[in-house]
């Protein structure tokens, strides 16, 4: 289990969190790293011992980063989609990284984000969450339904 908990005690930025690993079978947690302003999306990269997070880079821009769970070192993976409504992402088992912006799903390629599918004609609002079945045969999306104008 992975969890982000607010850092207490010292004066910290409001969004400074401590990432912890919880061992469900033992009822114990272990602090991993303190990170300001990281996203709610935390995922293990398939086939690795790295955790994928969105955090602010040194320039203050949101960036997908890999946290090596052995060394606790971050390495940049990619910039997030510019202007993205969502700070959510999902790995497929291949492993491909998917992210949504408004009603469009993108895949991270070597040269940047590539559109996979535009769902504008099918969805009532922007995609805010993504999930992929382990066999990669289905993609689930949570959509923020925009109220219709009267």
- What ranges do the domains of the chain cover? 1-37, 40-143
Q: What is the DSSP letter of 149?
A: P
Q: Residue 123: is its pLDDT beyond 90?
A: yes
Rounded distance, CA 76 to CA 92, Å? 19
Preceding amide of 83 cis, omega within 30: no
The arrangement of strands across the sheet holding 89-91 comes to 89-91, 97-101, 104-109, 112-118
**13 vs 98 pLDDT, higher one:** 98
Under the banding of pLDDT at 50, 70 and 90, the label for residue 149 is low
What share of the chain has pLDDT > 70, as a percent?
Answer: 81
Q: Would you say 6 and 17 are in contact if contact means Cβ atoms under 8 Å apart? A: yes
pLDDT exceeds cutoff 90 at 144: no
Can you give the pLDDT at residue 38?
67
Q: What is the largest CA-CA distance in the chain?
A: 55
pLDDT bucket at 120, cuts 50 / 70 / 90: very high
Q: What is the mean pLDDT of residues 114-143?
A: 93
């Amino acid at each position: 289990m992975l969890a982000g908990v607010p850092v207490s005690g010292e004066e910290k930025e409001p969004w400074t969190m401590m990432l912890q690993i919880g061992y469900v079978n033992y009822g114990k947690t272990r602090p991993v790293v303190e990170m300001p302003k990281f996203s709610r999306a935390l995922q293990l990269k398939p086939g690795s011992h790295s955790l994928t997070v969105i955090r602010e880079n040194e320039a203050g821009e949101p960036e997908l980063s890999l946290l090596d769970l052995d060394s606790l070192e971050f390495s940049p993976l990619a910039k997030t989609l510019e202007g993205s409504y969502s700070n959510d992402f999902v790995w497929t088992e291949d492993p491909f990284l998917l992210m949504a912006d408004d009603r469009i799903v993108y895949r991270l390629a070597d040269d940047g984000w590539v559109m996979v599918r535009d769902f504008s004609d099918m969805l009532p609002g922007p995609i805010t969450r993504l999930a992929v079945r382990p066999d990669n045969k289905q993609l689930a999306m949570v959509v923020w339904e925009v109220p219709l104008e009267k």
